[in-house]
Amino acid sequence: MPAFSQRLSDAILRTKTPLVVGLDPRLDSLPQTYQSLIQGNIWDRAQAVRDYCCWVVDAVADIVPAVKPQLAFFEELGPAGTQALADVVKYAREKGLLVIGDGKRGDIGTTATAYANAYLGVDSPWGMDCLTVNPYLGADTLQPFVRTARERQAGIFVLVKTSNPGSGDFQDLLLSSSANNSPETLYQRVATELNRLSNEGDAATDRYGLCEIGAVVGATYPQQLVDLRQRMPKCWLLIPGFGAQGGTAEDTAGGFHPNGLGAIVNSSRAILYAFDPQDRSHRWIDAVRHAALTANQQLRDATPAGNL
């Protein structure tokens, strides 16, 4: 199997878009057709989540390279929800989509190894191509994820500058020293470490010079996005915040390389819930697909993705 980075590049070039659809199945936002299940027991609610996400996969499978299930919306339903997640991951893979697990996992030593073993790689128990990782316990906690990703032709996206309004509370703190003795924020220090990892001898770069290590950088911070693209030239950037959080297609442009690769842009609510919430028919499927197509065009018009 090709390395994760090559699979991602190939999928983006095939669909001519960097758009990733986030699967965030909020029970109170699902179409009216699922109301009877939502009002049932926990297994009924999990069925609603599973069926809805699979319909979304059907709507976008031929027009985007990947989906990103947010694990929390499945885990809040307990064992029934985790079974629904397993079904959605399997279904998305059968439809030819890459799957990025958004769990923001991070821990020390053997615990980090257990997380990596659980999620990373198509032959892992969860069968995901990639996982989001929290680095703020320290650089050593990244090693098990990096090692497992390389062994299993998988990838990771490490939190660097997140899209939420409070990200600056800690991530923007100025450090007293850096490797070159110039001022550096905490998130820039994380980027420096990711750049180092991307240049290690066993980093699996694809034919476009990109590797299995990625960084999460929000569209809500476009200036920082430009800086971080320069600091991590071999790393993929996963850009959340486009759409419902207020980030525009123009805001994401600084995350790309000139050939249109190097970044993927996530949109969740703006696509998943683009329909009339009172619609009891299945026209909501068309609304989801239309929203994804619209986002694709916006990204092609405003970013180097138009060069794909």
Q: Return the active site residues.
A: 104
- Contact indicator for 91, 84 with CB cutoff of 8 Å: no
**Hey, what are 167's tokens?**
């990200």
For residue 197, how far is the Cα from the chain centroid?
A: 20
| Strand pairing report for 19-23 and 184-185 | unpaired
User: Measuring CA to CA, how many Å separate 247 from each of 13, 103, 112, 250, 258?
Assistant: 24, 22, 32, 8, 20
Rounded-to-integer distance, Cα 102 and Cα 94, Å: 19
Q: Residue 146, exposed/middle/buried by CB under 10 A (0-12, 13-18, 19+)?
A: buried
Look up residue 173 and give its DSSP letter: P
**Hey, what are 213's tokens?**
């290590």
